[in-house]
Amino acid sequence: MEKQTITIYDVAREANVSMATVSRVVNGNPNVKPTTRKKVLEVIDRLDYRPNAVARGLASKKTTTVGVIIPDVTNLYFSSLARGIDDIASMYKYNIILANSDQNDPKEVQVLNTLLAKQVDGIIYMGHKITDELRAEFSRSKTPVVLAGTVDPDEQVGSVNIDYESATEQSVTNLIAAGNERVAFVSGSRMEPINGIYRLNGYKAALEKAHIPFDESLVFEADYSFISGEAIYEKVEEAGATAAFVGDDELAVGLMNGALDRGVQVPEEFEIFTANNSKLTEMVRPKLSTITQPLYDIGAVAMRLLTKLMNKEETDEKTIVLPYNIANRGTTKGE
C-alpha cells in the first residue's frame, strides 16, 4: 500500500537527468558538471531521498557492515573492546552487527553463517576458544577475520592482543616478591588457550624463576562471573594460598568479596592480582591491582586492521601485540 519509497529514479526524473548521473553525485564521482550536481543535490534534499543500502549492497557487493561475535555484551572486558570496535567502525562508515555467542560452540558456527549470509564485509571475533570447525569456516570464506582480545595458536587470521604470558609472569613474580610462596592461579577453563597455555605458562615461569615447585592444587577453573568467584574463595583458602592471580576482573571481584565477606583482610591477609583492567577494577574497594591492558585500543586496532584487510591494503603484520603495564593498586602489598 503506502510503500511510498522514493528511489533514484524519482530523483532522476525530477532533476531531468538520468539515474546514472544521480548515482554519480550520490557516490561523489567527480565526473559531473557542478551545475547538474547542484541541481541533483537540491532535488535529493527536496524529495528527502535516502539511498537504499540493500540495493547498493547487491549491486556493489559491499555492505559496509561488519559482524562482531561477542561472548556476552554484559561482560565489561568484552564490552570495552566492543566500544573501541564500534568507534573506529563508524569512523570508517561501517556498521556493526553484534551477536552474542555465549561461547557456545554450535551457536558460534551458526552465528558466523548468518553473518556471512548477510554479506558482511568483515568479521571481528571475540571469544575464548576457537574450535576446529570454526577455524575451518574462517579459512573457507574469503571474508577477512580479525580476533580481538582473543588468541588462536594457529595464527591464520588477523589478531590483536597483548603478551598474556609475560604479563602474567610479571604479575605473579610481583606476588612472589611480596612474600607469597603459595600463589593461586584462578582463571576460566584451561581448555582455553589464553588460560591453559599463555597465562599458565607465565605463571609457571614465575614460579620457576623463584624456585617454587608448581603445585597443581593451586590451579582453579571457574566461570567468568563474580558469583563463582565468591564461591571459589573458600577452596583457594583451603589450598593454603595467600595470594591469587586471576584471569578475569569480574571473577577477581568475586574472589575478593569471598575473602572480605569472611573477614579476611585484603591485601594484608590475601593479595589479588587481576588481568584485564576493566573499569570494574577501580570501582571496588580496595581497588584491584591489575595488568593494565588497553582494552579500548585492542578493539580499535582490531577494527582498524580489519578495514585494511577489507580494503586489501598492505598490512605489515596481521598478528598485533600491544603493550601492557602493571598497576599495583589496593589488593597487593608491594610498593
Partner DNA sequence: CTGTTAGCGCGTTCAC
Partner DNA sequence: GTGAACGCGCTAACAG
Contacting residues toward DNA, per CB under 7 A = 3, 5, 7-9, 16-21, 23-24, 26-27, 30-33, 35-37, 49, 51-52, 55-56, 58-61
Q: Nearer to a copy of itself by C-beta: 46 or 285? A: 285
Binding site for a copy of itself (CB under 8 A): 2-3, 50-55, 57-58, 61, 63, 65, 68, 72-74, 76, 79-80, 82-83, 86-87, 90, 95-100, 113-119, 142, 226, 250, 253-254, 257, 260-261, 279-280, 282-285
Choose among DNA, a copy of itself, none what residue 257 binds, the Cβ cut-off being 5 to 8 Å by kind: a copy of itself
Choose among DNA, a copy of itself, none what residue 16 binds, the Cβ cut-off being 5 to 8 Å by kind: DNA
What are phi and psi for residue 175, nearest 5 degrees?
-60, -40
C-alpha distances out from residue 268 to 168, 179, 217, 242, 317, Å:
22, 12, 23, 10, 44
Whole-number minimum distance, CB 113 to DNA, in Å? 13
Choose among a copy of itself, DNA, none what residue 144 binds, the Cβ cut-off being 5 to 8 Å by kind: none
Distance (Å, whole) CA 111 – CA 19: 37
Which value, in Å, is the radius of gyration of the alpha carbons in the chain? 25
Choose among DNA, a copy of itself, none what residue 32 binds, the Cβ cut-off being 5 to 8 Å by kind: DNA
Distance (Å, whole) CA 1 – CA 87: 38
Look at residue 27 and give its three-state secondary structure.
coil
End-to-end CA distance of the chain: 72
What single-letter DSSP state applies at residue 216? G
Choose among DNA, a copy of itself, none what residue 275 binds, the Cβ cut-off being 5 to 8 Å by kind: none
Residue listed under C-alpha cell 543535490: 41
Q: Nearer to DNA by C-beta: 17 or 306? A: 17
Q: Return all residues near 318 (Cβ < 8 A) that are at least 6 apart.
A: 155, 157, 158, 159, 305, 309
Look at residue 167 and give its three-state secondary structure.
helix
Q: Nearer to a copy of itself by C-beta: 33 or 142? A: 142
Whole-number minimum distance, CB 99 to a copy of itself, in Å? 7
Q: Other CB atoms closer than 10 Å to residue 16's CB: what's the count?
A: 11
Q: Nearer to a copy of itself by C-beta: 6 or 239? A: 6
Q: Nearer to DNA by C-beta: 32 or 260? A: 32
What are phi and psi for residue 37, nearest 5 degrees?
-55, -45
Q: Nearer to a copy of itself by C-beta: 72 or 215? A: 72
Whole-number minimum distance, CB 196 to a copy of itself, in Å? 26
Whole-number minimum distance, CB 42 to DNA, in Å? 14
Distance (Å, whole) CA 183 – CA 181: 6
Whole-number minimum distance, CB 138 to DNA, in Å? 21
Choose among a copy of itself, DNA, none what residue 253 binds, the Cβ cut-off being 5 to 8 Å by kind: a copy of itself
The C-alpha cell at 259 is 575473602
Look at residue 237 and give its three-state secondary structure.
helix
